[in-house]
């Protein structure tokens, strides 16, 4: 759904930290997650967590 990739090539292995999660069952979760990621800056972006069926906001480790 929403055409999000299941995995992210922008994040090296162990290279990012999950900072927030939004249930994929709520149609408003993706825009919320996107806004959350945009507000955090520093390369933060959204992943789809298939095992948890949720969107997660990740921040690359510095």
Which parts of this chain interact with Zn ion (CB under 5 A)?
Answer: 8, 10-11
Task: For residue 24, give both structure tokens.
Answer: 């994929």
The residue sitting closest to Zn ion, measured at its beta carbon, is: 8
DSSP letter at 7?
S
> Closer CB to Zn ion, residue 15 or residue 31?
15
> Closer CB to Zn ion, residue 10 or residue 19?
10
Q: Are 58 and 44 in contact (CB under 8 A)?
A: yes
Length in residues, the chain: 62
Three-state DSSP class for residue 34: helix
Smallest separation (angstroms) from Zn ion to the CB of 44: 9
> Closer CB to Zn ion, residue 11 or residue 32?
11
């Amino acid at each position: 759904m929403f055409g999000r990739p299941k995995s992210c090539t922008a994040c090296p292995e162990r290279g990012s930290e999950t900072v927030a999660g939004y249930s994929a069952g709520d149609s408003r979760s993706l825009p919320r997650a996107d806004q959350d990621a945009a507000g955090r800056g520093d390369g933060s972006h959204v992943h789809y967590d298939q095992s948890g069926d949720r969107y997660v906001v990740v921040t690359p480790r510095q």
